[in-house]
Chain A
Amino acid sequence: MATDNNIAVSVKDLEKKFGSFIAVNRINFDVKRGEIFGFLGPNGAGKSTTIKMLCGILTPTAGSGYVDGYDINREQELIKQNIGYMSQKFSLYDDLTVEENIDFYSGIYKVPPKRQRERKEEIISMIGIEEFKSMFTGILSGGLKQRLALGCAIIHEPKIIFLDEPTAGVDPIARNNFWKLIKEMANKGITIFVTTHYMDEAENCDRLALIYQGSIIAMDTPINLKTQCMKEKVLKISVSNAEEWLYKLDKVEGIKESALFGTAIHTIVDDAVKVKQSIKKLFQETDIKDFTIESIQASLEDVFISLIESHEKVGGMCELK
């Protein structure tokens, strides 16, 4: 697999244990070149641990992996020359200015001195940080910090970029801007490996792996995950006093799971027609007339919740062809 030129990242039975705790449980996946590959999962699922092993700063306890053709067990320093990594925690120097941080990483990545100035201008304009370039990094907003961190991680023009929760704690507009940057880079053929726990963000990825308690429980394009990975149906129920009804609906036979989405209730059911009838009946009995019930496409969150449930019951992975 290491020799396949279309594969940027390839992982086989990768495992990381901390003592007896299994952080990453023998996972397998490939990332194609030029792809935005998302790692979606809750906090503590093993996303960061995986990304750190791929970047050569954490040693796996078992399994193998290749990044850009280099072995993650033996050739970490070669990997580091060819990737960009942005860690989950902001990790540039707060007491340096924006430019000084860029200059520092320019030196570390051995950008040729003649090219340094030009490259710095490119980065600054790409991440849109011109007016802040002589400010101390410590006083920048979260969104600007993230963009600067990205800029420093790609100063040496790597072909593969690893982003660990790049938008955690950043406001929605800044997140949106950040994703525009990521898509621009992907359009230039750069492979992006990104972890997130935001479902809406995950929709931006070409392919997604859902990771839960160290295991990948599903892996596919977002659209396939939403349409095929879930056996159950989703009903969207709009009614006033939705919060109250959330609990009352739990007693209706056939409803497996209910959650509030905005002002509506999403319920996961096996038999949509039957449950629809039961709920209608319940509403009519209590004299509620102003309501709608419709079958909708599952959101990623619905898929995730449903997959976690079935994973906890039977284990295994949602395989799709």
Chain B
Amino acid sequence: MNLNRIRAIIKKEFIQIIRDYRSLALALINPVILLCMFGFALSLDVNNVPLAIWNQDKSQISTDFIMNFENSRYFNVVGYLDSYDKLQNYIDRKKAVMAMIIPKDFSKFIQSNQSAPVQLLVDGSDANTATIAMGYVNAVVAGYNVKLIEDSTSKLGIQNLSPIDLRPRVWFNEDFKSRNYIIPGIIAMIIMMIAAQLSSLTIAREWERGTMEQLISTPIRRGEIILGKFIPYFIIGFFDVLIAISMGQFVFHVPFRGNLVLLLIVSSIFLTGGLAQGIYFSIVAKNQRLATQMAVLTTFLPTFILSGFVFPIYNMPKVIQIITYVVPARYFITILRGIYLKGVGLNILWIQILFLLLFALFMITLAGRKFKKKIT
């Protein structure tokens, strides 16, 4: 390794990156756009479920029952209707996700100590939202049931109707805000996008333009070319990490409970692996378009889908779960959430960090081996 040569490559790469200002702008604006899209738009929280109600009973009790939905932040009562056709119309037009029908004998049943049937129509096309929303309805109904039973039994002098008193306390993400675990995950997405996609162009471009033929006829060493190309992209990638962390802090107010230095070090390791992977594809493909496609397919998609970023790994079929073990972002996202939300450190996360280190070393070795100063 010769410093002059590495410096020559770094300088050349930087000049080229800066002159190609559109790509540079894209590399720096990308994390902002990603953060805004995922941070503002991607919310897995189910709030304000639109609910339509047909109250055939119109009694004191049924109105009291409905107030429980009106007053909940999980529901938004969008209309009081008076026919099945109208309810169906609301669901068809997505004006309501659920429709509730309270029969006209509702209060009579309750007053005569019988179960009162209430019909709930649910738009199941979005299964996830429907399941969560039904859970909310169940909770409201169960609460109301207890209230009704307590009302009637207290007259008989019976007090303790709930033998088990559950007192939940939520740790780490107290408000169940999905944003709090999505934003740290985006750092993994951003690093992979910048790292693999930008670096996948660098060596392929030189083969495509013919400049590599001149370069390989010089006594430069393979490691010097790879390192000289690695460093500029590492700096850009690191910049993106800083942008993402600052936005998480100042725009999205995600709680940060861990060690910032540890976060930066681990991000650098992950960034190194991603860059090496991009460079590897660049070497293999010798063609910019192919290299980028390979990078997108093997980094962006697995990072998005198989890392536990949004979709919980334990929900996946067993085979897919096994595949997730070779997705480096899986480990990185665990680390990110550990540092951000749980405030844990090396003593807990060392094994994930070790995996990231191994991955980075593996990719660097692979890229170094594959790169030949030869024309094939």
Contacts and interface: CB of A to CB of B under 8 A. Distances in A.
A81 B216 CA distance: 11
13 contacts: A59-B374, A77-B373, A80-B219, A89-B210, A90-B210, A91-B211, A92-B211, A96-B15, A108-B220, A109-B218, A110-B4, A110-B5, A153-B214
Given A80-B217, A103-B8, A96 B16 contact: yes
Given A57-B374, A57-B375, A105-B218, A91 B8 contact: no
Nearest to B220: A108
A58 B372 CA distance: 10
A161 to B, nearest CB: 11
A86 B5 CA distance: 20
Contacts of A77: 219, 373
B372 to A, nearest CB: 10
B5 A85 contact: no
B86 interface: no
A44 interface: no
A95 interface: yes
A58 B374 contact: yes
A226 interface: no
Which secondary structure dominates where chain B touches chain A? helix
Leading 5 A-B pairs by shortest Cβ distance: A107-B8, A91-B214, A85-B217, A81-B219, A89-B210
Contacts of A10: none
Contacts of B5: 107-108, 110
Interface string A83-103: 101110111111110001001
Interface in A250-276: none
Given A110-B2, A110-B4, A95 B19 contact: yes
Nearest to A152: B214
A52 B210 contact: no
B215 interface: yes
Contacts of B4: 107, 110, 113
A56 interface: yes
B375 A109 contact: no
B209 interface: yes
A294 to B, nearest CB: 47
Interface in B17-49: 19-20
A247 interface: no
Contacts of B70: none
A149 B217 CA distance: 13
Given A87-B214, A89-B213, A107-B9, 5 more contacts: A58-B374, A103-B11, A104-B11, A107-B11, A108-B215
Interface string B188-227: 0000000000000000000001111111111110000000
A59 B19 CA distance: 36
Nearest to B8: A107
Contacts of A153: 214
A75 to B, nearest CB: 11
B147 interface: no
B369 interface: no
Contacts of B373: 56-57, 76-77
Contacts of A152: 214
Nearest to B19: A95
A211 interface: no
B61 to A, nearest CB: 78
Contacts of B7: 107
A144 interface: no
Contact of A57 (B9, B11, B210, B213): B213
A105 B8 CA distance: 8
A55 interface: yes
Contacts of B2: 110
Contacts of B214: 85-87, 91-92, 149, 152-153
Contacts of B213: 57, 87, 89, 91
Contacts of A81: 219
Contacts of B9: 107-108
